[in-house]
Homo-oligomer: A and B are copies of this chain.
Amino acid sequence: MMQKLSQVTVIGTGLIGTSVALALREHDVAVRLSDHSPGNVRDAVAAGAGTALSDADGPADLAVIAVPPSSTARVLRASQQRGLARVYTDVASVKSAVVAAAREAGCDMASFVPGHPLAGGHQSGPQAARADLFADRVWAVCAGEGAADDAMEMVVSTAELTGSVVCLVDPAEHDRAVAVSSHVPHIVSSALAALFADTSSLTLRLAGQGVLDATRIAAGDPALWADIAKNNSVDIAGVLSTVRDNLTAYISFLLDPVTGQDMDTSALIDLLAAGNRGRDTLLHRQ
User: Which residue on chain B has the smallest CB distance to residue A282?
Assistant: B196
Instruction: Choose the segment among A32-40, A75-83, A152-160, A257-265 that binds chain B (4+ C-beta atoms closer than 8 Å).
Output: A257-265
Residues of B close to A278: CB separation below 8 A: 192-197, 199, 215, 218
Q: Does A203 contact B (CB under 8 A)?
A: yes
B residues near A195, Cβ cutoff 8 Å: 180, 184, 239, 242-243, 278
> Across the two chains, which residue of chain B brings its CB closest to A196?
B278
Given A177-B202, A182-B210, A190-B271 in contact, is the A226-B265 Cβ separation under 8 Å?
Answer: yes
- Which parts of A70-114 form the interface with B (CB within 8 Å)? 70, 97, 101
Indicate if the CB atoms of B97 and A260 lie closer than 8 Å. Answer: yes
Chain B residues contacting A188 (CB-CB under 8 Å) are 188, 191-192, 214, 247
A265-284 residues with Cβ-Cβ distance < 8 A to B are 265, 268-283
Please tell me if A27 contacts chain B, counting CB pairs below 8 Å.
no
**Known A-B contacts A194-B275, A246-B191; A204 and B282 likewise in contact (beta carbons under 8 Å):** yes
Once the chains bind, are A279 and B196 in contact (CB under 8 Å)?
yes
- CB 8 Å contact bits of A207-250 with B (1 = contact, 0 = none): 11011111111111011011101110110110111111011101
Whether A205 contacts B167 in the complex (CB less than 8 A), given A233-B263, A263-B233, comes out as: yes
Identify the interface centre among A119, A188, A197: most chain B CB within 10 Å of its CB.
A188
A46 to B270 CA separation, bound complex (whole angstroms) = 33
**Beyond the given A97-B261, A180-B203, could you list 20 further A-B residue pairs with CB under 8 A, ordered by the A residue number?**
A70-B261, A118-B206, A176-B203, A181-B206, A182-B207, A184-B192, A188-B192, A190-B275, A190-B276, A193-B279, A194-B274, A211-B282, A213-B216, A215-B279, A219-B276, A222-B270, A225-B272, A227-B265, A244-B244, A244-B251
Q: Chain A: residues with CB nearer than 8 A to chain B? A: 70, 97, 101, 118-120, 137-138, 140, 167, 169, 173-174, 176-178, 180-182, 184-197, 199-208, 210-220, 222-223, 225-227, 229-231, 233-234, 236-237, 239-244, 246-248, 250-251, 254-255, 259-261, 263, 265, 268-283, 285-286
